Chains A and B, each alone.
Chain A
């Protein structure tokens, strides 16, 4: 999907050695990194920009990996965030398949696994994160190999493997009832598998949506034939001949499985930042302008945690957040004021259910549901007093778009 081998232009692949010098080095060629490169150019940045990624692909979108891609509806080259010619147009050099292994912000030097030395003025870390690993007995065989059939879903390569496996999987167990787990569960059902979701907490998507919505989704998945076990822990993995055969539950139960998808959260990628001495605590610590503890370094996307001036630290894992933090990071490098604050938004597609959320919900919000849950189309409004703080819609795109506009224009009046 990175285009023809040896293609001319702005994209360089791993292998060639030598020192490179750049104005801004962006480490991590994903959603945030790609946006940062673009925003720098849009803001008039004139020095060289080098985007370096460890994956063999140009930056691509992850959301379809648990949705259309799984169903075989999308081919990999359709996932690219921008094509090779787009990077040429904005004069950004992209280096794929070569992880950055050390950065020294004081000296302004980074090194890659292939042995390249990169000298930079500014450094941007857009490293994303890796799936939280399951730590229960039975994940490795007696001979030390990983049991086959246990999958995570973060990268295109993960999704490829899963898609292949799904073709002949009959019994699928999904560990974790968050967005990725539930989207995958829907895809696996549609592919004809028997699906059970095992969630340790008492409800689905508990970190992101109110109880009413969790309830609704529980019913919606059950109606479509998925079994959901809430409040159920895992005690082990069973395998035979190195292949998974089932999962053992903490309550003594046992589920047969030939494919297990683990979706129990993300660990922000901070190793590089920590080794470079940047402040990290459950993410690379940034402020609202995406500045880190080092004046030469900005960070954006899933690898960060935002320490705000007006509230507790927040972490978002969403496309919108990666994009907005990247824009702020570019402004910081350019020495410009931070861009207008955008109301955070998110979506999730499960079966024919389109969930869209916008705003900043709080724990004390008053909630009001409009519409018909039985019709699978409704709107949930969060309020504090008579002020709307957030809106969540299911199969009501028009209401979502209107809410987004209203919340945004209200936020603008406060700025």
Chain B
């Protein structure tokens, strides 16, 4: 079982830690646990952009890579940075490990 820490991007406080299984998306784990900044209005169909997080680049091997449509969506998102991801597209591909994502304040 892998683990994920959700951090508040503004205050750097730990919001919560949750278990994450292989093939889970970070978004699913966040909504199941109730991380407020991850709204995920479209439920992971990459249509809404309300599941934006900052990912730790050194942990990128834990997750499926970004594809071009994710990049396109992200390009128009407020406060987008080089390490921005749509958490619904961050599917865990490893069985073990610890991941960290920073959650921007809800828009």
Contacts and interface: CB of A to CB of B under 8 A. Distances in A.
Interface string A157-170: 00000000000000
Interface residues of B, number: 22
A82 B69 contact: no
A81 B69 CA distance: 24
Interface in A48-72: 61, 63-64, 67-68
Nearest to B42: A347
Interface stretch (B6-14, B44-52, B56-64): B44-52
A397 B72 contact: yes
Contacts of B48: 345, 347
A354 B47 contact: yes
Interface string A304-334: 0000000000000001100100000000000
A63 B49 contact: no
Contacts of B75: 398, 401
A108 interface: no
A64 B77 CA distance: 24
B35 to A, nearest CB: 8
Q: Is the interface of B mostly helix, strand, loop or mixed?
A: loop
A64 B43 contact: yes
A398 B31 contact: no
B32 A82 contact: yes
A401 B50 CA distance: 11
A276 interface: no
A319 to B, nearest CB: 6
B45 A402 contact: no
Interface in A320-372: 320, 323, 345, 347, 349, 354, 356
Nearest to B72: A398
A398 B34 contact: no
Interface string A30-50: 000000000000100000000
Contacts of A79: 43
Given A78-B28, A320-B41, A347-B42, A83 B33 contact: yes
Nearest to A403: B76
B45 A349 contact: yes
Given A42-B36, A81-B43, A397-B73, 13 more contacts: A63-B45, A64-B45, A67-B45, A82-B34, A86-B34, A89-B33, A319-B42, A345-B48, A349-B45, A356-B47, A397-B69, A398-B75, A401-B76
